[in-house]
Amino acid sequence: MPMPPAQDPGASAGDAEEPEAEHPPVIKVSPARIGLSTSSVYPETTSSAFELSRRLGYDGIELMVGIDPVAADIDAVEKLRDYHGVPVLSVHAPCLLITQRVWGTDHWEKLRRSAEAAKRLDADVVVVHPPFRWQREYARGFVEGVRRLTEETGILISVENMYPWRTPGGEFKAYLPGWDPTERDYDHLTLDLSHASTANQQSLELARSWGSRLRHLHLTDGTGSIKDEHLNPGEGDQKAGEVLEFLAGSDFAGHVVLEVNSRKAESRARREEQLAEALAFTRLHLASPVHSDYAVDSTGTASAVGTG
């Protein structure tokens, strides 16, 4: 039977070589605020969105103008904001097909009015879609007009990515100057993950290519369907968690707005559960690991640790 190796009688247990302690991973959390779009509670009301935002712990609201009559009444919205103590982070201009006649039919006036509403509500972003093909006069000079309105009002007008309409006869290009803002000379862009999925694009690639032009995020998901699905983040093909981690690592300081479809929720309790899950997913992934030799303090400044 083999004998164990002899020990040095002068050695002690304290002389045994111990593994070098590893520093735990340091996490960088984005300063972005997380908002709830009022469209996410439809068919409930704008008032319900404020109530649920406060109850679930969202940082604020994105007002979808025209989703119901209250959403187009800025006096009423201001009262809801103050009553619930929930800030309005951003305003979505009434540019959907179902809101075409909200605040009139002059599209530049509607956009200007959206900026005025944002200013009054202490929001700093207005989200707008590119014009429809039949809005040719509005589409003419749209890029320059958006830039000019941002300069005049001090409100950031952020243009959202859209998608081609797919029909049995092929694709219908419904937007001018185009549904993909990547190659256009916009200063500020809003990335909608569901729209990217419907367009058969990848949101992470768009976020990387847009760089500092990405100023606002509609967090949702899709499966590449011809329908604009607006699933909860993480339920589709857009790698929503990776997008959020990329933003955290890029010092993104805009707003992340949950814009999901909860219409199939069979009860208020199920709707609350869905929106709570979306918020938990967002907070979990809106952080990024940094090099273990660096820590980030509360101001976002990196400092060396454990390098002596």
Q: What is the pLDDT of residues 2-46, one digit of tens each?
A: 555 555 555 554 455 555 556 666 788 889 999 999 999 999 999
Token pair of 251, please? Answer: 């010092």
Return the DSSP state at 59. Answer: S
CA geometry: angle at 103 spanning 162 and 68, to 5°?
75
Residue pLDDT, tens place only, 187-235 = 999 999 999 999 999 999 999 999 999 999 999 999 999 999 999 999 9
Question: pTM for this one?
Answer: 0.86
Q: What are phi and psi of 190, to 5 degrees?
A: -110, 125
Q: Is 145 or 100 the better-scoring residue by pLDDT? A: 145
Torsion 95-96-99-101 (CA) sign: positive
Residue pLDDT, tens place only, 143-182 = 999 999 999 999 999 999 999 998 777 788 899 999 999 9
Bond preceding residue 43 cis, omega within 30 of 0: yes
Give me the amino acid identity at 93: A
Q: Is 34 exposed, middle or buried (0-12, 13-18, 19+ CB in 10 A)?
A: buried
**How does DSSP assign 145-206, residue by residue?**
HHHHHHHHHS-EEEEEP--PEEETTEEE--BSS-S--TTS--S-EEEEHHHHHHTT--HHHH
The CATH architecture of the domain made up of 26-304 is Alpha-Beta Barrel (3.20)
